[in-house]
């Protein structure tokens, strides 16, 4: 078996595009459709690729783009978003991914970005590189015939059925308002919007093209299909800025005639179950990670978001893969953090992964401590740290990449 010594990592060029596509198709076990070609490369240009090359053959790939992501406190952080990670099946498990990530991290460091994020194919790969699950989502299925709304659930109406072509500007405007107040949600690039509105065949997987429900403060995009003798409405994306928009959209979706099941992915704290007389109607089919995050620069990342309580502490951050760790003094007043390296003794100690997990508010520090992933002697110090990092709302991913 060859080693990584015969492999070098370099930046991608347009001449590499076909080989990169083939590598990704083999890695992910799919084929891009011919109707996607004009969108491919728009969000993640090949010039941002890193390729691992053996001789004249591309055997590994990553690509990135700088993303603007909302953080707790409705501020934003600039992050490196990595995608398209694949190593040839002929070259797996000989350290090519590790080499690509070293190069990827060096590039992110040179770009001065405090955070790296991605969505992961498997949960076992990226912890070793300092990443942690940063945003979770819940997949649900609702048997519409069992749906009954509580008497307290509003019925505000105001929803219209639209065509996708006619809704582009309003959907983009609503998403932009939603994204700026939702931790974990990223600004969506034009190319990504174009891909969504093109509604390509691969995304449909045998279902219809997208139906659009519009409200002044929300929208729902869904498809219809028939599987195992059941008529299904699958919500591709639902964004609601207000409780009224949320209730109005769900009333239409759950009232759809000739539909047995409505499927959707919702935030961890979505109030949907509370609108119904029987909360069991909202059947959880999967709970999983969407965004993973890694802190690249501890002071820059921790001062980008806001906090819920004042804090004076010293944290020891362990980062064996990149050496971005050390001891840091963290002082928070009125939600705003100051953070700098210190020689003072730490009060809490953890791997850098933990900061990625806490960053957008998906997890509690007390839960990491219960799992022995935060070391702290004084329970009051943990309570104070937990109170500062806890957020009002569960984070949500804006668009998958
Ligand atoms: C996942 C993938 C990129 C790994 O590439 P690779 O070059 O084989 O990985 P490496 O040899 O550099 O492995 C680095 C480390 O990760 C581990 N690892 C790699 N892939 C793993 C997996 N799927 N599950 C668990 N561990 C994995 C290796 O065992 C190795 O561990 P160690 O060095 O800490 O002992 C490659 O198998 C692939 O392309 N898979 C299909 C597409 C995919 O899933 N891409 C990832 C998208 S997020």
Half-sphere exposure of 283 (CA within 13 A, CB side): 10
Pairing mode, strands 261-266 and 336-341: unpaired
Same domain, 100 and 153: no
pLDDT at 353 over 80: yes
Same domain, 275 and 158: yes
183 assigned to some structural domain: yes
Pairing mode, strands 326-333 and 336-341: antiparallel
Which of 57, 80, 113 is the last residue in one of the domains?
113
For ligand 1, pick from 44, 63, 87, 119 the residue to mutate: most ligand atoms within 8 Å of CB: 87
Which of 228, 254, 287 is the last residue in one of the domains?
287
398 assigned to some structural domain: no
Predicted confidence at residue 339, as pLDDT, reads 98
**Rounded Cα gap, residues 18 and 123, in angstroms:** 29
130 assigned to some structural domain: no
Same domain, 85 and 185: no
Predicted confidence at residue 1, as pLDDT, reads 44
Same domain, 184 and 265: yes
339 assigned to some structural domain: yes
Atom of ligand 1 nearest to the CA of 96: 7
CA of 93 to the centre of ligand 1 (A): 6
Query: Which residue has a Cα nearest atom 19 of ligand 1?
Result: 125
CA of 24 to the centre of ligand 1 (A): 14
pLDDT at 391 over 70: yes
Whichever domain contains 84, its CATH number is 3.40.630.30
118 assigned to some structural domain: no
pLDDT at 97 over 50: yes
Same domain, 143 and 208: yes
**Rounded Cα gap, residues 40 and 401, in angstroms:** 12
pLDDT at 111 over 50: yes
Alpha helices in 260-378 (DSSP H): 298-304, 352-359, 365-370
Q: 383 among the known binding-site residues? A: no
Question: pLDDT per residue over 58-74, tens digit each?
Answer: 999 999 999 999 999 99
Q: 94 among the known binding-site residues? A: yes
Residue 140 — very low, low, confident or very high, per pLDDT cuts 50/70/90?
very high
121 assigned to some structural domain: no
Q: List residues with catalytic annotation.
A: 126, 401
Same domain, 301 and 351: yes
Predicted confidence at residue 3, as pLDDT, reads 67
303 assigned to some structural domain: yes
CA of 94 to the centre of ligand 1 (A): 9
Range of the domain at 331: 297-389
Same domain, 226 and 182: yes
Residue % of the chain over a pLDDT of 90: 98
Same domain, 147 and 253: yes
Same domain, 207 and 104: no
395 assigned to some structural domain: no
**390 contacts 171 by C-beta, under 8 angstroms:** no
Domain count along the chain: 3
pLDDT at 2 over 70: no
User: 109-139 b/e with 16+ CB inside 10 Å = b?
Assistant: beeebbbbbbbbeeeeebbebbbbbbbbbbe
Predicted confidence at residue 390, as pLDDT, reads 98
Which of 287, 312, 327 is the last residue in one of the domains?
287
Same domain, 106 and 150: no
Same domain, 223 and 307: no
Query: Which residue has a Cα nearest atom 17 of ligand 1?
Result: 125
Predicted confidence at residue 5, as pLDDT, reads 85
Question: pLDDT per residue over 318-336, tens digit each?
Answer: 999 999 999 999 999 999 9
Atom of ligand 1 nearest to the CA of 93: 11
Predicted confidence at residue 37, as pLDDT, reads 87
Whichever domain contains 360, its CATH number is 3.30.1050.10
Q: 93 among the known binding-site residues? A: yes
Same domain, 240 and 316: no
Mean pLDDT taken over the chain: 97
CA of 87 to the centre of ligand 1 (A): 8
For the residues 349-372, what does the mean pLDDT come to? 98
Question: pLDDT per residue over 170-189, tens digit each?
Answer: 999 999 999 999 999 999 99
């Amino acid at each position: 078996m060859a080693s990584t010594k015969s492999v070098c990592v370099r930046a991608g060029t347009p001449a590499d595009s076909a080989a990169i596509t083939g590598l990704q198709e083999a890695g992910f076990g799919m084929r891009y459709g011919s109707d996607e070609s004009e969108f491919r490369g728009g969000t993640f240009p090949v010039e941002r690729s890193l390729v691992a090359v053996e001789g004249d053959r591309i055997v590994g790939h990553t690509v990135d783009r700088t993303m603007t992501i909302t953080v707790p406190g409705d501020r934003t952080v600039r992050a490196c978003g990595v995608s398209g990670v694949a190593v040839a099946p002929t070259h797996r498990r000989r350290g090519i991914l590790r080499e690509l990530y070293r190069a990827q991290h060096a590039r992110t460091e040179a770009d001065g970005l405090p955070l790296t994020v991605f969505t992961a194919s498997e949960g076992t790969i990226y912890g070793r590189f300092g990443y942690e699950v940063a945003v979770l989502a819940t997949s649900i299925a609702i048997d519409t015939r069992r749906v009954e709304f509580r008497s307290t659930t509003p019925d505000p109406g105001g929803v219209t059925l639209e065509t996708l072509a006619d809704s582009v500007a309003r959907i983009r405007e609503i998403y932009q308002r939603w994204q700026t107040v939702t931790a974990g949600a990223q600004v969506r690039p034009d190319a990504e919007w174009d891909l969504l509105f093109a509604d390509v065949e691969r995304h449909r997987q045998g279902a219809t093209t997208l139906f659009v429900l519009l409200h002044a403060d929300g929208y729902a995009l869904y498809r219809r299909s028939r599987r195992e003798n059941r008529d299904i409405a699958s919500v591709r994306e639902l964004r609601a800025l207000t409780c009224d928009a949320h209730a109005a959209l769900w009333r239409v979706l759950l009232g759809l005639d000739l539909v047995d099941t409505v499927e959707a992915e919702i935030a961890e704290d979505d109030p949907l179950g509370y609108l119904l007389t029987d909360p069991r109607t909202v059947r959880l089919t999967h709970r999983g990670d969407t965004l993973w995050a890694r802190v690249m620069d501890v002071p820059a990342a921790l001062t980008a978001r806001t906090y819920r309580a004042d804090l004076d502490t010293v944290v020891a951050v362990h980062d064996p893969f990149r050496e971005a760790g050390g001891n840091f003094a963290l002082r928070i007043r009125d939600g705003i953090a100051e953070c700098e390296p210190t020689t003072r003794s730490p009060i809490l100690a953890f791997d850098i992964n933990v900061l990625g997990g806490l960053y957008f508010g998906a997890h509690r520090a007390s839960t990491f401590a219960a799992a022995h992933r935060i070391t702290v002697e004084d329970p009051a110090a943990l309570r104070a740290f937990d109170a500062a990092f806890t957020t009002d709302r569960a984070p949500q991913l804006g668009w998958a990449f």
